[in-house]
Amino acid sequence: MTRPTPIRVVLADDERMVRTALRAILSAEPDLEVVGEAATGAEAVSVVRDLRPDVVLMDVRMPEVDGIRATERILATLDEPPRIVVVTTFENDSYVYDALRAGAAGFLLKRADADALVQAVRLVARSDSLLFPAAVRTLATEHARARPAPPAWVAKLTGREREVLQQMAQGLTNAEIARRMEVGPATVKSHVAAVLAKTGTRDRTQAVIAAYEAGFLNGG
Amino acid sequence: MTRPTPIRVVLADDERMVRTALRAILSAEPDLEVVGEAATGAEAVSVVRDLRPDVVLMDVRMPEVDGIRATERILATLDEPPRIVVVTTFENDSYVYDALRAGAAGFLLKRADADALVQAVRLVARSDSLLFPAAVRTLATEHARARPAPPAWVAKLTGREREVLQQMAQGLTNAEIARRMEVGPATVKSHVAAVLAKTGTRDRTQAVIAAYEAGFLNGG
DNA sequence: ATCCGCCTCCGCCGGACGGGGGAGGGCGGC
DNA sequence: GCCGCCCTCCCCCGTCCGGCGGAGGCGGAT
């Protein structure tokens, strides 16, 4: 169960104190060995290239090149890249998502206790697991809807116009919408006309398309 | 470093062999204790309610109530719920996403080795970390476009009909489509009629909606 | 050789749609 | 009080749309 060769770790963080602390924690474990350190992203890339560690603990915030970019570069240029664990201070950091995209094997908070840190390193070193804090659940459940900026017209619609557009997007005719909203067909026509004007579209089909692409629908 | 009370684990899997294997692996560790087992999702909920374990290893596929639903129920009903690790056989399982949504603390593959299993249990037991295999990266980067199975009508459309539907989804009129495709307006009308028939819709707006919801568009 | 599916077009018709212009009432702000 | 916004509804009219039925050509399958 004890492995012959220890897990080789590189630390990348611009603060010396952090590196020292991490080294102290990891060195206490017989199966872990800190083989190198880096204070910038650029340095991290070259150090990793030279030392070929099994795991890298990578701070997100670093001079010159940040941890995310350094991660991308390492994974893109090395044949058998190390597992990279991205480390940050704040949980709600948007870096969580960036780290995922960059190909990081894990994401750790600096406030994680020593125990969790050590186990995280061991885990990523030899399994294909990813390791992320609770924040990713938010991203996943909110469907990570990276809204590309909702078009201006959305705010300009009145309440009734919104309702009408919703129904249009269900494929209903004006008459059907009128029945559902318990108003006259002429009223619906007015609202539809207003929607077309504000969305800059010429017919209901284009308006529905605009609604879809604006992410205007509730539970799309 | 050794904790006074062991981590209490409950196993939920409908196959006895799997439970036995898991129990064997976990029992070999002095700091882990398997306190109960369940063969169905419903049983899992009640067992967990009674025994209050620290960690639950939950199979996705189980009779009566599947692992995902069982997870939801446990997390919804208990005040201090255990960390739940969802276990499955296939990595590309859509269950990965469901597990995230349900609030699972981790996701493990049955082919994971004993070492990874044990460490995963230890990790989730006392940190707020989530643990997921590489599959989540795909979900995250592909923006988790959970295709709900492309409707049958997609395959039934002829080449021309597809083209026409694409243009319809751009908000073009029949005349415009005719010009772009360099055919007569009557031809386009025929294709549109065919599209409406095959999609089971009554007008172009509904057809476009169907196209959007089917993920029919190229780079939507 | 025949059949069938696909693409191409035709005419006719009723209904839905969208543009234009207008009108009355309610409600809040200046 | 008056103005402005919103919601409600009205008429007219031209256009687009979709349903109906039909037709010819072309190519692959049997």
pLDDT at A98 over 50: yes
A116 CA – C20 C1', rounded, Å:
70
Please indicate whether, in this complex, the C-beta atoms of B132 and A134 are within 8 angstroms of each other.
no
Please indicate whether, in this complex, the C-beta atoms of B209 and A171 are within 8 angstroms of each other.
yes
Judged by average pLDDT, the poorest of A29-38, A187-196, B12-21, B166-175 is: B12-21
Q: What is the mean pLDDT of residues A14-28?
A: 86
Q: What is the mean pLDDT of residues B172-190?
A: 93
Please indicate whether, in this complex, the C-beta atoms of A133 and B134 are within 8 angstroms of each other.
no
A193: the nucleotide nearest its CA (via C1') is C18
pLDDT at B161 over 60: yes
Which pLDDT score, from 0 to 100, does residue A144 have?
A: 42
Which pLDDT score, from 0 to 100, does residue B54 have?
A: 94
Helices (H), B133-184: 135-141, 153-156, 159-168, 174-181
B183 CA – D29 C1', rounded, Å:
28
Which pLDDT score, from 0 to 100, does residue A93 have?
A: 54
The residue of chain B with its CA nearest to that of A122 is B119
Which pLDDT score, from 0 to 100, does residue B107 have?
A: 81
| A-interface mutation test, from B107, B123, B143, most A Cβ less than 10 A away | B123
Judged by average pLDDT, the poorest of B15-24, B44-53, B199-208 is: B15-24
Q: How confident is the model at residue B220 (pLDDT cuts 50, 70, 90)?
A: very low
Q: Which of B101, B134, B205 is the closest to A205 by Cβ?
A: B205
A154 CA – D7 C1', rounded, Å:
19
Q: How confident is the model at residue A186 (pLDDT cuts 50, 70, 90)?
A: very high
pLDDT tens for each residue of A52-61: 999 999 998 8
What residues does each domain of chain A span?
7-127, 149-213
Q: Which residues of B touch A113 (CB under 8 A)?
A: 127
Nearest to A154 by CA among A214, A202, A196: A214
d(CA B96, CA B42): 21
Query: A176 Cβ partners below 8 Å, 6+ apart?
Result: A167
Nearest to B40 by CA among B9, B57, B77, B65: B65
Which pLDDT score, from 0 to 100, does residue B145 have?
A: 44
Q: Which of A130, A203, A209 is the closest to B134 by Cβ?
A: A130
Which pLDDT score, from 0 to 100, does residue B19 have?
A: 87
Q: Nearest-CA distance from B137 to chain A in Å?
A: 6
| Residue range B7-127, CATH number | 3.40.50.2300
Q: How many CB atoms lie within 10 A of CB B184?
A: 10
Judged by average pLDDT, the poorest of A175-189, B41-55, B64-78, B183-197 is: B64-78
Give nucleotides in strand D with any atom < 7 A to a protein C-beta. Answer: 5-11, 16-23
Q: Does domain B149-213 have CATH number 1.10.10.10?
A: yes
Task: Report the share of chain A in percent with pLDDT over 90.
Answer: 44
Nearest to B170 by CA among B200, B212, B131, B118: B212
Q: What is the mean pLDDT of residues A41-47?
A: 93
Which pLDDT score, from 0 to 100, does residue B129 have?
A: 67
Answer yes or no: same fold for B7-127 and B149-213.
Answer: no
pLDDT tens for each residue of B111-149: 777 777 888 888 888 776 666 655 554 544 444 444 455
Which pLDDT score, from 0 to 100, does residue A5 have?
A: 86
pLDDT tens for each residue of B43-97: 999 999 999 999 999 988 887 788 888 998 998 888 888 999 988 876 555 677 7
Which pLDDT score, from 0 to 100, does residue A218 have?
A: 64
Q: Nearest-CA distance from B108 to chain A in Å?
A: 8
d(CA B26, CA B37): 13
Q: Are B153 and B198 in contact (CB under 8 A)?
A: yes
| B-interface mutation test, from A127, A170, A196, A213, most B Cβ less than 10 A away | A127
B92 CA – C1 C1', rounded, Å:
52
Higher pLDDT, A29 or B127: A29
Which pLDDT score, from 0 to 100, does residue A141 have?
A: 46
Q: What is the mean pLDDT of chain A?
A: 83
